[in-house]
A = this chain, B = another copy of it.
Amino acid sequence: MSADAEPAPVSAKPPVTLREVAAAAGVSVATASKALNGQGRMTAETRERIRETARLLGFRPNSLAQSLLRKRSFTVGLLTNDTYGRFSLPLMAGVSDALVDKGVSVFLCNVEDDPRLGQLHVEAMLDKRVDGIVATGKRIDRHLPVDLSNLRIPVVYAFTQPDPGAVGLVSDDAGGARLAVEQFLRLGRRRIAHVTGPESFAVVHTRAEAWRDVLKENGLPTAEPLLGAWSEAWGHDAVEKLFGKAGREGWPDAVFCGNDQIARGVIDALRERGIRVPEDVGVIGFDNWEIVAEATRPPLTSVDMNLASLGREAGLALLSLVEGQPAAPGIRKLPCRLVVRQSG
């Protein structure tokens, strides 16, 4: 054991450098570098001795210096405008989880809907020489308030509107809607209504179309979807519309809802009318927002967009772009899954 060896990294001391390791092992920095990186040729003993010395000294290479040489920082930027929403959380966790094992760290960039913030963050990322950027949002039909189309680094879009020619990942909303409607059919439901969000959302149309397609394919009568707000209150109002006037025979026997909040409102309103879920009417939501789905009485069956997987895929897609693998541009749709609880 060399006299230079420190017991353990002590607070406030600067980190151990390669130079110190080399000195302690009695070799040059070049040799030390090669020993630790498994490069070059040297006796097994030399290599082992250097490694042991490094271990003893608690040496960890300065990533900043490595990045400067390697032209890669092993960092990526994660842009989002959904810092108070619930969609970005699993998405961000997915991105981070996919990358941490590859030694890649993720910068969190909250851009809200503010172009100034967007600009600020993008410049910070570029200055810090991130290897790439994942752009994330709270809806797939809106752009972030930044232009990422002419950066010199790869960009992957996840759950937000991609630039033309870019790589984008979104959930397969049509597929998710099919899962819900087909579950109803399997349960013998035949008059399946659809209560969903505002017209201005692309997913409202995608899901409604899939709902109608499945009904048609099965020779069932279709109707207009009921559009409104993404809220419990709209769920209540929709029940009034659907179950208010007609005789019992005219009622739907199932309601496919555009999100879990609407579904929650629908279920509460049905209960207040003495209509039983799922005995009289089945209800399925969208988003699988667990804390809501599980508190609903009865617990809510819901379509899950697999956002954590989406994030993970986005992270991996970015990584392969960074590593120079060509990726087919365009939007890739990832499957949803149905989480069956008790409401439908």
Contacts and interface: CB of A to CB of B under 8 A. Distances in A.
Interface of A: 8-15, 60-65, 67-68, 71, 73-75, 78, 83-86, 88-90, 92-93, 96-97, 100-101, 103, 105-110, 117, 120-121, 123-129, 150-152, 231-233, 261, 264-265, 268, 291, 295
A247 B46 CA distance: 86
Nearest to A109: B96
Contacts of A14: 71, 152
Contacts of A152: 9-15
Nearest to A77: B105
A144 to B, nearest CB: 15
Contact of A107 (B11, B71, B107, B129): B107
A232 B298 CA distance: 13
Contact of A231 (B9, B65, B268, B295): B295
A62 B78 CA distance: 20
B84 A93 contact: yes
Nearest to A127: B63
B261 A291 contact: yes
Q: Which 4 A-B pairs have the closest CB atoms?
A: A83-B93, A108-B108, A232-B295, A63-B127
Q: How many copies does the complex hold?
A: 2
A100 B120 contact: yes
A100 B129 contact: no
A108 B63 contact: no
B110 A107 contact: no
Contacts of A92: 83, 108, 110
Contact of A96 (B103, B105, B108, B150): B108
A233 B86 contact: no
Contact of A60 (B60, B110, B123): B123
Contact of A106 (B101, B107, B127, B151): B107
A275 to B, nearest CB: 15
A70 to B, nearest CB: 10
Contact of A86 (B67, B86, B123, B129): B86
Contacts of A108: 78, 92, 96, 106-108
Contacts of A74: 128
Given A84-B89, A152-B11, A295-B231, A60 B103 contact: no
Given A65-B68, A109-B96, A152-B15, A60 B127 contact: yes
Nearest to A62: B129
A323 to B, nearest CB: 15
B231 A129 contact: no
A75 B291 contact: no
Contacts of A100: 109-110, 117, 120-121, 124
A234 B329 CA distance: 50
Contacts of A121: 100
